[in-house]
Amino acid sequence: MINKIVASVAEALAGVKDGSTILIGGFGTAGLPNALIDGLIEQGAKDLVVVNNNAGNGYTGLAALLQTGRVRKVICSFPRQTDSYVFDELYRAKKIELELVPQGNLAERIRAAGAGVGAFYTPTGYGTLLAEGKETRHINGRDYVLEYPIHGDVALISAYKGDRWGNLVYRKTARNFGPIMATAAKMTIAQVHETVELGELDPEAVVTPGIFVKRVVAVGAQGNVQANAAQHAA
Partner 1 sequence: MNKMNRDQMAQRVARDIPEGAYVNLGIGLPTLVANHLPADREVLLHTENGLLGMGPAPAKGEEDWDLINAGKQPVTALPGAAYFHHADSFAMMRGGHLDICVLGAFQVSVKGDLANWHTGAPDAIPAVGGAMDLAIGAKQVFVMMELLTKTGSSKLVETCSYPLTGVGCVSRVYTDMAVFDIKKDGVYVADVVDGLPFDELQRLCGVPLRRG
**Contacting positions for partner 1 (CB under 8 A):** 27-31, 53, 77-81, 84, 87-88, 91-92, 98, 100-108, 110-111, 122-130, 143, 170-180, 207, 224-225, 228-229, 232
The distance of closest approach from Cβ of residue 54 to partner 1 in the complex, given in angstroms and rounded to an integer, is 9
What three-state secondary structure class fits 159?
strand
Name the residue nearer to partner 1 (CB basis): 78 or 153: 78
Nearer to partner 1, 7 or 92 (CB): 92
Question: What would the DSSP string read from start to end of 147-158?
Answer: E----EEEEEEE
Residue 14 CB, nearest distance to partner 1 (Å)? Answer: 27
In 62-104 the beta strands, taken as DSSP E runs, fall at 71-76, 97-100
Q: Is 80 helix (H, G, I), strand (E, B) or coil?
A: coil
Tell me the closest approach of the beta carbon of residue 201 to partner 1, in angstroms.
16
Cβ closer to partner 1: 12 or 76?
76
Give min distance, CB of 1 to partner 1, in A: 30
Of 20 and 176, the one with the shorter C-beta distance to partner 1 is 176
Residue 30 near residue 160 (C-beta atoms within 8 A):
no
Q: How far is CA 165 from CA 5, 9, 97, 149, 159, in A?
A: 8, 18, 37, 27, 14
Query: Are 157 and 35 contacting, i.e. CB atoms less than 8 angstroms apart?
Result: no
Taking the least distance from each CB to partner 1, the nearer of 186 and 232 is: 232
Distance, in Å, from the CA atom of 5 to the CA atom of 114, rounded to the nearest integer, reads 22
Q: Could you tell me the smallest distance in angstroms from the CB atom of residue 103 to partner 1?
A: 4
